[in-house]
Amino acid sequence: MRGLTIEQAADKAEIKLSYFRYLMAQLNGTSMDLRVPPVAGERARRYSPQKLAAWMAAGKPLPGSESAATDTGGDGPHVAATAHRAENGSGWVMTLQDPSHTVEATSLKRAWEISRVRAAESLETDPESVSIDFQVKYPKKAAALLEEHQQLAAEARELQERADQKRLQGLQQLRAEGWRQQEMAFVLGLTPQRIQQLLAEG
């Protein structure tokens, strides 16, 4: 078998499928991507059991929240890194994996900027082409609370999508039974324009 389906990977990681999709959306396309190389004609890329196991053993880390905003979006090198608050609480430490560098700075953004320059020097390339995919090491209690928040938020998004789909199906059924858009709007507390938009999007 060439890798795991997303359902199999979520089951192996003991994570609900909706939350697993949310987590993988943050990893896909970064140096932490757990998927196997794409195959022509394959609808969805599969997940590497080895990469998945290593990710689980590392504590299921995610890229830092600033990495997406600072990603160059190009084809330049991606460098994996970790970041944590300095033990004295006065700054940040960022550790690059390959090329290997450790940077200390007064802010996380400054640590990222310096790391980008250091990586570019080692790779002999333009700093603007380098993407630093870093994961933040949170304090243990905060990490547990934030992970619970992310899981609940992912479940809420899935429920909202299901609710929106049911509403659309209800509107389509009312239309099939001869209801006018003005009547639907009045009963459901929406504007006729919103009813028209929902039906058009469906």
The CATH number of whichever domain residue 82 belongs to comes to 3.30.2390
3-state secondary structure (DSSP) of residue 130: coil
- Does residue 2 share a domain with residue 54? yes
| CB neighbour list of residue 190: distance below 8 Å, 6 or more residues apart | 184
Question: Counting every residue, how long is the chain?
Answer: 202
pTM of the predicted model, to two decimals? 0.54
Q: Closest Cα partner for 5 from 39, 36, 40, 26?
A: 36
Separation CA 89–CA 69 (nearest Å):
25
Q: Closest Cα partner for 132 from 92, 96, 91?
A: 96
The stretch 126-146 carries a mean pLDDT of 88
What is the residue range of 26's domain?
1-60
In which band, very low, low, confident or very high, does the pLDDT at 119 lie, cut at 50, 70 and 90? very high
* Last-in-domain residue among 113, 137, 161: 137
- Does residue 197 share a domain with residue 151? yes
Tokens of 129: 């082409």
Question: Strand pairing of 101-105 and 92-96?
Answer: antiparallel
Q: Please determine, for residue 96, whether its predicted confidence score (pLDDT) is greater than 90.
A: yes
Of 98 and 115, more confident = 115
- Does residue 130 share a domain with residue 78? yes
Of 73 and 104, more confident = 104
Percent of the chain scoring above 70 in pLDDT: 93
- Does residue 70 share a domain with residue 123? yes
Tokens of 23: 């987590």
**∠ CA 38-54-137 to the nearest 5 degrees?**
110
Q: Please determine, for residue 67, whether its predicted confidence score (pLDDT) is greater than 70.
A: no
DSSP character for 47? B
- Total tally of structural domains belonging to the chain: 3
- Does residue 102 share a domain with residue 81? yes
Query: Looking up tokens 């209801």, which residue turns up?
Result: 179
